[in-house]
Amino acid sequence: MIANAPLVFALPKGRILDEVMPLLRQVGIEPEPAFDDPRSRQLRFKTNHRDLDLIRVRSFDATTFVAFGAAHLGIAGRDVLMEFDYPEVYAPLDLNVGHCRLAVAEPVEMTKDDDPARWSHVRVATKYPNVTRAHFAARGVQAECIKLNGAMELAPSLGLCRRIVDLVSTGATLKANGLVEVETIAEVTSRLVVNRAALKMRPVQVNAWIDRFQEVLDAA
Ligand SMILES: Nc1ncnc2c1ncn2[C@@H]1O[C@H](COP(=O)(O)OP(=O)(O)OP(=O)(O)O)[C@@H](O)[C@H]1O
Ligand SMILES: O=P(O)(O)OC[C@H]1O[C@H](OP(=O)(O)OP(=O)(O)O)[C@H](O)[C@@H]1O
């Protein structure tokens, strides 16, 4: 880490960005114009703060950039933080955006004869194999996970497996695919994340950003 280089802030692209940008602007961070240009292929952006650059990455990768110190700060869903569980990532603030939950779901027709308390082994399609295995292991159930990166809801009807673990917000995606939620694993919101080494090596700068986010959240 170069002491006087700009801090790098990892933003998740995709759906969360729409909720995060108003918050970022309230905090006083304004990216250079290319950030809002849909034709731009640029991935790193200067901001109105000389000592802060933004990078735009996949939502699953924001915490990885921060964990390895490639980014100093970032924003990540609690789902992603739980899945990776990086010791180098400190997640001090709940940003109160990206509300959803991580849940187990199965076809509606299975539920009338199915008792989750009697499961001993489950086969699950999910983007979250680590969280899923830990959730089931805690009550002695072995989970065999099939890793998918999206469209998990298709897996039961196509015979890949009978159950899925995925994010649920309105429940519309489950309903449209004939599935129902049978267990909630965790409530999810997005959090401000910080690399622990950056916090030690550049405490004034990093803490100033944490404090600024806290002020905006307190005022909301
Ligand atoms: N339905 C939802 N409602 C609210 N928040 C959600 C919802 N789905 C996902 N999220 C949050 O947004 C984050 C990103 O969502 P998701 O994994 O679907 O990525 P994406 O927007 O499709 O982007 P990517 O292309 O990187 O996969 C998740 O980690 C989660 O914290
Ligand atoms: O309960 P709902 O409000 O329907 O939201 C749940 C859906 O949202 C997320 O997918 P997303 O739309 O981000 O697409 P993805 O599968 O490409 O990640 C999640 O993976 C579910 O499929």
Check whether 3 has a pLDDT greater than 70: no
Using the atom order of ligand 1, give the atom closest to the CA of residue 167: 8
Residue that has been written with the tokens 């129902």 in this structure: 180
What tens digit of pLDDT does each residue of 40-77 get?
999 999 999 999 999 999 999 999 999 999 999 999 99
Determine contact, residues 189/94, Cβ cutoff 8 Å. yes
Picking from 214, 10, 219, 15, the residue whose alpha carbon sits closest to that of residue 100 is 15
- What is the pLDDT, as a whole number, of residue 117? 85
Residue 186, ligand 1, Cβ within 6 A:
no
What tens digit of pLDDT does each residue of 189-213 get?
999 999 999 999 999 999 999 999 9
Using the atom order of ligand 1, give the atom closest to the CA of residue 173: 1
Determine contact, residues 55/10, Cβ cutoff 8 Å. yes
Token pair recorded at residue 193? 């994340």
Q: Higher-confidence residue: 57 or 2?
A: 57
Q: Which domains does the chain have, with CATH numbers?
A: 7-98+189-219 (3.40.190.10), 100-187 (3.40.190.10)
Residue with the smallest CA separation from ligand 2 atom 20 is 167
Picking from 211, 203, 204, 199, the residue whose alpha carbon sits closest to that of residue 27 is 211
Determine contact, residues 137/158, Cβ cutoff 8 Å. no
Cα 31 to ligand 1 centroid, rounded to whole Å: 22
What tens digit of pLDDT does each residue of 157-187 get?
999 999 999 999 999 999 999 999 999 999 9
CA–CA dist 64, 129 (Å, integer): 17
Measured from the alpha carbon of residue 154, the closest ligand is 2
What tens digit of pLDDT does each residue of 94-114 get?
999 999 999 999 999 998 888
Residue 188, ligand 1, Cβ within 6 A:
yes
